[in-house]
């Protein structure tokens, strides 16, 4: 498929590319094949696809999986791949209730990469493997470790739930319209958290507050963010903050496990 094919198909559907949403259509069928292969799709798999668009991935998933659940906001894209294995859901992937699935393969709309990723990582959503197309910079943030400029809340949240692998770098020329940056196929394999903490909700609030002020030392960001975290200290700036582990470090210096220690300290201080 080339750019002319995409334009013709969109025109036939009465649609235009929504650039403001970061919408780009994958042209290179070899990349679609690699995405499916990286996910190890088998006949007993139920695969979630978010944003199937013109169906370049959908058709290949249907050829290997037992079932494909395709979630699409644009009604005119529904049913383009006519296969009994494909169940289309017309709705917002950030809001609809997903039927059970065990794998995810998607060329995500880049404008919703962050919220979709956080939704897939919610504790009540269970799957084994996800192979997702992201902008390269976003993919590097997913896989970043402590001390890296790319390390942040996203890196920590993903680490808790899954092992991340950067797979194939995908040039911008593989899409229409051509984005300004390259992309990357990423594989996430879910696993139990590699460490324990007393309160996972508090853990994630601590991480969020810390990285919302990433240039500040931990003691300062926590002092500023205690109300948001709803931790019942008697007042802001109490001596308890000055006892927090790693209080003089900045968030990018802390491992996820160390954030767990901070969270547990706050639990014990309640």
Other CB atoms closer than 10 Å to residue 140's CB: what's the count? 18
Q: Could you tell me where in the chain the CATH 1.10.8 domains are found?
A: 200-269
Specify the pLDDT at position 269: 57
Q: Could you tell me where in the chain the CATH 3.40.50.150 domains are found?
A: 3-190
Q: What is the CATH number of domain 3-190?
A: 3.40.50.150
Architecture of the domain delimited by 200-269: Orthogonal Bundle (1.10)
Specify the pLDDT at position 226: 72
Per-residue pLDDT of the chain (270 residues; tens, 9 = 90+): 788 998 899 999 999 887 666 678 999 999 999 999 999 999 999 999 999 999 999 999 999 999 999 999 999 999 999 999 999 999 999 999 999 999 999 999 888 999 999 999 998 999 999 999 999 999 999 999 999 999 999 999 999 999 999 999 999 999 999 999 999 999 999 999 999 999 999 999 999 999 999 999 999 998 888 766 655 544 334 547 888 999 999 999 999 999 999 999 988 755
């Amino acid at each position: 498929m080339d750019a002319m094919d995409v334009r013709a198909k969109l025109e036939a559907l009465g649609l235009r590319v929504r650039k403001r949403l970061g919408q780009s259509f994958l042209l290179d069928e070899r990349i679609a094949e690699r995405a499916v292969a990286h996910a190890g799709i088998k006949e007993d798999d139920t695969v979630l696809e978010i944003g199937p668009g013109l169906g370049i991935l959908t058709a290949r998933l249907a050829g290997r999986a037992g079932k494909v659940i395709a979630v699409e906001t644009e009604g005119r894209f529904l049913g383009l791949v006519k296969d009994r294995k494909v169940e289309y859901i017309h709705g917002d992937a950030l809001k609809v209730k997903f039927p059970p699935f065990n794998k995810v393969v998607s060329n995500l709309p880049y404008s919703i990469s962050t919220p979709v990723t956080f939704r897939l990582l919610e504790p009540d959503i269970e799957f084994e493997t996800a192979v997702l197309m992201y902008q390269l910079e976003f993919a590097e943030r997913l896989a970043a470790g402590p001390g890296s400029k790319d390390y942040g809340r996203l890196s920590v949240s993903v680490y808790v739930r899954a092992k991340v692998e950067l797979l194939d770098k995908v040039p911008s020329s593989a899409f229409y319209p051509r984005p300004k940056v390259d992309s990357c196929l990423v594989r996430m394999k879910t696993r139990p958290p590699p460490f324990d903490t007393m309160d996972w909700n508090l853990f994630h609030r601590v991480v969020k507050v810390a990285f919302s002020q990433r240039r500040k030392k931990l003691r300062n960001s926590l002092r500023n963010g205690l109300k948001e975290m709803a931790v019942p200290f008697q007042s802001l700036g109490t001596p308890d903050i000055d006892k927090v582990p790693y209080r003089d470090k900045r968030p990018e210096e802390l491992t996820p496990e160390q954030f767990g220690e901070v969270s547990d300290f706050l639990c014990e201080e309640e």
